[in-house]
């Protein structure tokens, strides 16, 4: 029996899902989804290095780890057959299943594979993964005829149900003159993931609030050790799970609690990516996004969190996969005007803070719905620009630079995934270091301007524009040979594309990692000292520690009432690049970068 819902773990890495979808589009569309095609799909995933079988030779492993090595279909088929699956076609069905369940592909009446409008959107050049998730989660529900699980008693749209539950808890807190703060991760784990029927939302909200008060009482008890407090809270969680699931087997309850911990971070991450949930309290509380108050109020008034109870799988997948359905309930002239009014109030305050000429927002309140939606997106883009300016201004203060240093030093301990945090804090560092015209990270952000995911594949992580030069910045948390495999060739390709697009100025690439793998260094050495596709490149490889050193130098300059400008940074970049002409090996180049930075520092401070 199932006690909870969860988001498919395939969605942990969106780029991976997109690549799996691309293979399906390129090789499967128009074909019949039979056993042969299911086996072929799994072999294609192996061929494109999107799935690595467990039983492969050392030579085959090397092919997966070497960017330039190609795996042929026949080689992939040999690897697949060596696994000796009892049901070979099942492997392809398993890999294909998330694409179908999330409405990216469908099977027609003749079992022919078709890509949907949602799938086409996700493969477009300008897809927004958050918008894709919002459209999916608005319609994703249990029970549904696509899920082969024991959820016959389920009646929930998890996304809408989650928002209703948070809203109810906030109302209870308000009625009790308590702090309105959303719900904690701990509360989310117990009460959100097990909310399987919308009719229980009020009951769950009251139980959640009672649990919150219980935890407060335990935490305030000075006679208990930390370990004792945690044990008492854990026992309380198990007793709550027993009540809401009607399960009395303690082993099953223990297993459920463990599973809920695994599911919670994934659910929060992807629900937040829709931009309708907001993280607060140092990353510990999940609340409704205050900047989407108009949309959320209308959503909660329109949908109660129940399932539509589709009986036919084709009808459900057709509905799920249509990016234009449902028509959003706030897409009326009046509600869109309300959204503009709310954005205008926020933007007016930002313009006052930045001493900018006030904008006349009333001229944007036209009558055409399509034009209103465009105007709203324009205002949200303007808000991001204003927040970027404020962030840049704040990063001129030593205390904010010190915060940036601390965050880079403790990158693995921060709230988000380390890869997301590294992109964020490197963006901060670049804003602090010099007088850029603009620093543009390519990671998608929420309405609070906080990153939701890392930058999508195919784009540089960060694009930087200065008066005298341009640059991209690529970051990675990888430190082994997979750093070279995942970053070496793609970084050089991103830089070349950036060079071609912005050929009015010199272009550089700053590459930042916890440490630099020698294979990565060798690759960048070749492109910098000799050539990449016929022309030299300007790549500056730095460790996170060396980036931190640049920030410490910046603080020292400020303490000497000196400024750091972009031409100073360009001089450092050039010094590192030109050093390749004075040494004969990549090892000598990379080991001398700290000395080059120190010489640059002495020159600046003196």
Q: Is the pLDDT of residue 3 over 90?
A: no
Looking at 2-113, list the stretches that DSSP marks H as alpha helix, in order from N- to C-terminal side.
14-27, 35-47, 58-65, 73-82, 88-101
Work out the average pLDDT over 580-594.
95
Q: Is the pLDDT of residue 148 over 80?
A: no
Q: Which helix (H) or strand (E) holds 542?
A: strand 539-543
Work out the average pLDDT over 150-159.
83
The strand pairing partners of 532, in sequence order, are 535
Q: Is the pLDDT of residue 154 over 70?
A: yes
pLDDT tens column, 236-286: 999 999 999 999 999 999 999 999 988 898 899 889 999 999 998 877 899
395-605 — its CATH code? 3.40.91.50
Please report the pLDDT score of residue 416 as a whole number. 76
Q: Is the pLDDT of residue 477 over 90?
A: yes
Burial class (CB in 10 A: 0-12, 13-18, 19+), 533: exposed
Contact between residue 538 and residue 510 where contact means Cβ atoms under 8 Å apart:
no
DSSP per-residue string spanning 211-273: HHHHHHHHHT-TTS-HHHHHHHHHHHHHHHHHHHH----HHHHHHHHHHHHHHHHHHHHHHHH
DSSP code of residue 112: B
Domain regions of the chain by residue span: 9-127, 158-306, 333-380, 395-605
- Which of 188-197, 410-419, 592-601 has the weakest average pLDDT? 410-419
Please report the pLDDT score of residue 270 as a whole number. 86
Highest mean pLDDT range out of 1-10, 241-250, 351-360, 416-425? 351-360
Q: In whole angstroms, what is the distance from residue 562 CA to residue 547 CA? A: 19
Structure tokens at 528: 């910098």
Task: For 279, list phi and psi in degrees, rounded to 5.
Answer: -95, 130
* pLDDT interval class at 14 (50, 70, 90): low
* pLDDT interval class at 355 (50, 70, 90): very high
Compute the Cα dihedral for 589, 594, 600, 602 and give only its sign. negative
Contact between residue 4 and residue 196 where contact means Cβ atoms under 8 Å apart:
yes
Q: In whole angstroms, what is the distance from residue 70 CA to residue 206 CA? A: 58
Please report the pLDDT score of residue 260 as a whole number. 93
pLDDT tens column, 114-142: 999 999 999 987 788 888 889 999 999 98
Please report the pLDDT score of residue 8 as a whole number. 66
SS3 at position 95: helix
Contact between residue 519 and residue 488 where contact means Cβ atoms under 8 Å apart:
yes
Residues 6+ apart with CB under 8 A from 127: 121, 456
Compute the Cα dihedral for 367, 371, 375, 377 and give only its sign. positive
Q: Is the pLDDT of residue 147 over 90?
A: no
Entry pTM: 0.88
The strand pairing partners of 156, in sequence order, are 142
Please report the pLDDT score of residue 12 as a whole number. 60
Q: In whole angstroms, what is the distance from residue 90 CA to residue 105 CA? A: 18
Q: In whole angstroms, what is the distance from residue 192 CA to residue 161 CA? A: 8
Is the pLDDT higher at 19 or at 146? 19
Structure tokens at 237: 């969680």
Compute the Cα dihedral for 87, 93, 97, 98 and give only its sign. positive
SS3 at position 208: helix
Torsion, CA 191, CA 197, CA 203, CA 204, rounded to 10: 10
Contact between residue 402 and residue 555 where contact means Cβ atoms under 8 Å apart:
yes
Contact between residue 463 and residue 498 where contact means Cβ atoms under 8 Å apart:
yes
Please report the pLDDT score of residue 282 as a whole number. 76
DSSP code of residue 315: H
Measured CA to CA in angstroms, residue 162 lies from 159, 201, 296, 474, 561 at distances of: 5, 9, 12, 36, 52
* pLDDT interval class at 67 (50, 70, 90): low
Please report the pLDDT score of residue 203 as a whole number. 97
Percent of residues, the chain, with pLDDT higher than 70: 97
Please report the pLDDT score of residue 65 as a whole number. 73
Please report the pLDDT score of residue 98 as a whole number. 84
Is the pLDDT higher at 482 or at 245? 245
Percent of residues, the chain, with pLDDT higher than 90: 78
pLDDT tens column, 310-338: 888 888 988 998 888 899 999 999 999 99
* pLDDT interval class at 15 (50, 70, 90): low
Contact between residue 544 and residue 414 where contact means Cβ atoms under 8 Å apart:
no
Q: Is the pLDDT of residue 570 over 80?
A: yes
Work out the average pLDDT over 82-102.
91
SS3 at position 509: strand
Pairing of strands 277-280, 105-107: unpaired
Please report the pLDDT score of residue 151 as a whole number. 56
Pairing of strands 438-441, 285-288: unpaired
Please report the pLDDT score of residue 265 as a whole number. 86
Please report the pLDDT score of residue 314 as a whole number. 84
SS3 at position 352: helix
Please report the pLDDT score of residue 2 as a whole number. 74
Work out the average pLDDT over 186-208.
96
Q: In whole angstroms, what is the distance from residue 84 CA to residue 29 CA? A: 27
Task: For 2, list phi and psi in degrees, rounded to 5.
Answer: -95, 140
SS3 at position 327: coil
Q: In whole angstroms, what is the distance from residue 361 CA to residue 23 CA? A: 45
Burial class (CB in 10 A: 0-12, 13-18, 19+), 343: buried
Work out the average pLDDT over 474-491.
88
CA 562: distance to chain centroid?
38
Residues 6+ apart with CB under 8 A from 439: 388, 392, 427, 430, 431, 462, 463, 464, 465
Q: In whole angstroms, what is the distance from residue 86 CA to residue 96 CA? A: 18
Pairing of strands 113-115, 438-441: unpaired
Measured CA to CA in angstroms, residue 222 lies from 73, 218, 228, 232 at distances of: 65, 9, 11, 14
pLDDT tens column, 483-513: 887 888 889 999 999 999 998 899 999 999 9
Cα-Cα end-to-end distance for the chain: 72
- Helices and strands, number each (H, E), in the chain: 25, 10
pLDDT tens column, 17-52: 888 999 999 999 999 999 999 999 999 999 999 999
- Which of 39-53, 196-210, 363-377, 452-466 has the weakest average pLDDT? 452-466
Work out the average pLDDT over 533-540.
95
pLDDT tens column, 219-235: 999 999 999 999 999 99
Structure tokens at 292: 């989407």
Arithmetic mean of pLDDT over the chain: 92
Contact between residue 479 and residue 417 where contact means Cβ atoms under 8 Å apart:
no
User: Pick from 423, 484, 485, 483: which is nearest to 455 by CA?
Assistant: 423
Structure tokens at 103: 């409405």
The strand pairing partners of 465, in sequence order, are 438, 470
């Amino acid at each position: 029996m199932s006690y909870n819902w969860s988001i498919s773990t395939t969605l942990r890495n969106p780029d991976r899902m997109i690549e799996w979808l691309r293979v399906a589009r390129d090789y499967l569309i128009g074909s019949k989804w039979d056993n042969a095609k299911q086996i072929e799909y799994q072999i294609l995933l192996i061929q494109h290095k999107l799935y690595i079988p467990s039983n492969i030779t050392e030579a085959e492993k090397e092919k997966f780890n070497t960017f330039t090595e190609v795996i042929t279909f026949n080689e992939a088929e040999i690897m697949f057959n060596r696994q000796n699956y009892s049901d070979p076609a099942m492997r392809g069905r398993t890999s294909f299943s998330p694409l179908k369940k999330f409405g990216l592909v469908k099977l027609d009446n003749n079992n022919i594979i078709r890509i949907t409008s949602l799938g086409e959107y996700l493969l477009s050049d300008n897809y927004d993964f958050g918008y894709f998730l919002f459209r999916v989660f608005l319609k994703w529900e249990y029970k549904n005829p696509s899920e082969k699980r024991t959820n016959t008693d389920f009646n929930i749209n998890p996304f809408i149900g989650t928002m209703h539950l948070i809203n109810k808890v906030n109302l209870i807190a308000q009625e009790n003159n308590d702090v309105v703060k959303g719900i904690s991760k701990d509360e989310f784990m117990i009460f959100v993931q097990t909310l399987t029927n919308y009719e229980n939302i009020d009951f769950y909200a009251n139980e959640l609030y009672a649990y919150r008060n219980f935890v407060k009482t335990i935490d305030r008890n000075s006679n208990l050790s930390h370990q004792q407090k945690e044990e008492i809270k854990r026992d309380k969680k198990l007793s709550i799970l027993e009540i809401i699931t009607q399960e009395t087997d303690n082993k099953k309850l223990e297993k459920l609690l463990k599973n809920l911990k695994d599911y919670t971070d994934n659910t929060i991450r992807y629900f937040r990516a829709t931009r309708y949930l907001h993280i607060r309290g140092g990353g510990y509380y999940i609340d409704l996004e205050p900047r989407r108050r108009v949309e959320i109020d209308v959503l909660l008034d329109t949908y109660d969190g129940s399932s539509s109870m589709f009986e036919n799988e084709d009808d459900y997948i057709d509905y799920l996969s249509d990016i234009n359905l449902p028509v959003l309930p706030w897409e009326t002239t009046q509600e869109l005007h309300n959204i503009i009014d709310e954005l205008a109030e926020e933007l007016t305050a930002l313009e006052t803070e930045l001493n900018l000429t006030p904008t006349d927002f009333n001229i944007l309140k036209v009558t055409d719905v399509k034009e209103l939606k465009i105007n709203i997106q324009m205002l949200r883009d303007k808000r991001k620009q204003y927040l970027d300016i404020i962030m840049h201004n704040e990063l001129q203060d030593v205390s904010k630079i010190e915060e940036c240093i601390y965050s880079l030093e403790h990158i693995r301990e921060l709230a988000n995934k380390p890869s997301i945090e590294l992109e964020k804090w490197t963006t901060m560092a670049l804003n602090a270091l010099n007088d850029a015209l603009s620093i543009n990270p390519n990671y998608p952000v929420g309405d609070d301007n906080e990153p939701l995911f890392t930058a999508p594949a195919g784009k540089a992580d960060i694009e930087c524009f200065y008066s005298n030069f341009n640059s991209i910045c690529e970051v990675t948390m990888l430190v082994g040979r997979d750093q070279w495999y995942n970053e070496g060739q793609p970084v050089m390709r991103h830089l070349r594309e950036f060079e071609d697009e912005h050929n009015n100025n010199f272009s550089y690439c700053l590459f930042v990692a916890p440490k630099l793998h020698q294979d990565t260094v060798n690759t960048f050495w070749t492109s910098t000292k000799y050539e990449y596709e016929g022309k030299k490149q300007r790549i500056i490889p730095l460790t996170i520690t060396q980036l931190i050193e640049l920030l410490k130098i910046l603080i020292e300059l400020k303490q000497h009432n000196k400024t750091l400008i972009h031409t100073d940074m360009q001089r450092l970049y050039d010094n590192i690049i030109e050093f390749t002409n004075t040494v004969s090996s990549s090892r000598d180049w990379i080991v001398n970068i700290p000395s080059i930075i120190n010489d640059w520092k002495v020159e600046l401070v003196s």
